[in-house]
């Protein structure tokens, strides 16, 4: 059996991370962890949707009153958040008070949870490829 090169291994790990960011749980599905993938998708998606439900779509604001670190944390959920931030950048969806803060907390938590799941998928992919090559 031929050993994969280091460049191919790095590309494989980057693909796992990219799939995990595009769709929550897809990185685990890429490495054939179907049950874990479904659990991650449901958890991250429901947490994000709960934040949107509490604070409306206005909690994703890339330009306005949202601190940059909240927007970065929200963006870790999926690239779809960047698209939503583009539509809400004009300030047409004002949200004030507790709903805004709770919505930001939930959507940011979903993003950070997905970041942890991406890191886990890359780690598992690295372990699986190391087992396959016998290292």
Question: Based on the structure, what is the number of domains in the chain?
Answer: 1
7 falls within a domain = no
**pLDDT tens track, the chain, 135 positions:** 456 688 888 999 999 999 999 999 999 999 999 999 999 999 999 999 999 999 888 888 877 767 888 889 999 999 999 888 888 877 778 788 888 889 999 999 999 999 999 999 999 999 988 777 766
What sign does the dihedral 29-31-33-37 (CA atoms) show? Answer: negative
42 falls within a domain = yes
44 falls within a domain = yes
User: Which helix (H) or strand (E) segment is 75 a member of?
Assistant: helix 68-75
Q: Which residue has the tokens 């874990």?
A: 36
39 falls within a domain = yes
87 falls within a domain = yes
**In b/e form, how buried is each residue of 88-109, taking b as 16+ CB within 10 angstroms?**
beeeebebeeebbeebbbbbbb
Which residue, 31, 83, 27, is CA-closest to 57? 83
66 falls within a domain = yes
4 falls within a domain = no
Domain that holds residue 59: 15-129
pTM higher than 0.85 for the full model? yes
49 falls within a domain = yes
């Amino acid at each position: 059996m031929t050993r994969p090169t280091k460049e191919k291994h790095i590309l494989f790990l980057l693909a796992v991370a990219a799939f995990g960011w595009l769709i929550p749980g897809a990185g685990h599905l890429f490495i054939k962890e179907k049950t874990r993938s479904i659990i991650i998708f449901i958890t991250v998606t429901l947490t994000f949707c709960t934040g949107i439900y509490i604070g409306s779509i206005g909690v994703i604001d890339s330009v306005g009153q949202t601190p940059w670190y909240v927007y970065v944390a929200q963006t870790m959920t999926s690239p779809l958040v960047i698209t939503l931030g583009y539509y809400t950048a004009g300030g047409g969806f004002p949200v004030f008070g507790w709903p805004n803060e709770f919505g930001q907390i939930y959507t940011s938590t979903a993003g950070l949870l997905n970041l942890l799941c991406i890191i886990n998928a890359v780690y598992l992919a690295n372990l699986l490829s190391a087992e396959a090559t016998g290292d």
